[in-house]
A and B are shown apart, each in its own frame.
Chain A
Amino acid sequence: MSAVELPRAHVRTAWSAAALLALALLVPACGNDDTPTTPTTPTGPVTETLTGSMAKGGIAVRTFTATQSGTVSVTLTSVVPASTLGLGIGIRATTGADCKFSTTVNTAAGATAQLTAAVDAGTYCAGAYDIGNVGSDGVTVTVTVTHP
């Protein structure tokens, strides 16, 4: 029994076809960098609380940063002993600890926000100040700020 040998030309053609097939399969796949990206989760509003002592004629403020534009809500949650204070939202001066209030309201402590303001992304301050009702012993205040 003798082997049947294919012609050399046939062998070369088959080899070339195989190589071309390999290239055809690889080229479209090369450079395909469709790497899936992790979607970013939007962040919700942040709530910060300030609790501190306020002297007669004093002020108690907290600085916060809004990461995006939105609405800031400020709640004078507690004043002990009870007293009506000024409540405000504003921005810090370049120097010093002053909070330059943009909007203010005189209010007693409560459970719902007494003051709201629209803000751009940026750094702000909010807090309470004596409008003349704080006694010589001062008061303990709690202010809650909810911001974007």
Chain B
Amino acid sequence: MKTSWPFSARSVLAVLAVVGLLTASCGNDDSATTPTTPTGPATEVFSGTLDVQGSSFYSFTTSTSGTVSITLASLVATQPGPALNSVLGLAVGAPLGTDCNVTSSINAAPGLTAQLTTTLSPATYCARVYDIGNLAASVNFTVRIVHP
């Protein structure tokens, strides 16, 4: 007695064809994506002379919202040194007329890590450094601003 296999050759081939099509399409994630141009933070350095009881500010513009870091990096009486560690005022705000309208401020000694960080929207701002009463003579300062 002979038993027929329930699948004909044609049926088997059809199933295999379906399996083959599914396998070929599986994992095919070649979706074209538009490459984005990475925009890194910008670094600006401004230097100047700060007089006793004086102040100085520097305007900068942020292109996108993000973190702004301001570092009072250097304070010397004469270049290149010795470096001073006098505590000055360091602030950020928006330019107003011929000055900087401060919104955030701290008192800090010079260093190489940001003493003032804040999150800002795209706009024009200013970083201000000023004598809080600790200077006995004019000094040369350098401030670094890192912003988006």
Interface set of A (CB-CB < 8 Å, partner B): 1-6, 10-11, 14-15, 18-19, 22-23, 26, 29-33, 59, 69, 72, 86, 88-94, 98-104, 106, 117-120, 122-124, 129, 131
Question: Could you list 19 A-B pairs, sorted by A, with CB under 8 Å?
Answer: A3-B3, A4-B4, A6-B3, A6-B4, A11-B8, A11-B11, A29-B26, A33-B27, A33-B29, A90-B73, A91-B112, A98-B79, A99-B80, A100-B73, A103-B85, A103-B110, A120-B112, A122-B43, A122-B146
- 11 extra interface residue pairs, beta carbon distance < 8 Å, beyond A33-B27, A101-B74: A4-B3, A30-B27, A86-B81, A88-B81, A90-B142, A93-B142, A100-B79, A101-B76, A102-B83, A120-B113, A120-B114
Q: How many residues does chain B have at the interface if contact means C-beta atoms less than 8 Å apart? A: 42
Assuming the A-B contacts A93-B45, A119-B112, A122-B43, are A88 and B18 also in contact, with contact meaning beta carbons closer than 8 angstroms in the complex?
no
A-B pairs, top 9 by smallest CB distance, nearest first, are A100-B74, A100-B142, A30-B26, A14-B6, A3-B2, A104-B81, A104-B83, A119-B112, A94-B45
Measured in the bound complex, the distance between the Cα atoms of B103 and A114 in whole Å is 39
Q: Are the CB atoms of B113 and A100 closer together than 8 Å?
A: no
Contacts of A22 in B (CB 8 A): 15, 18-19, 22
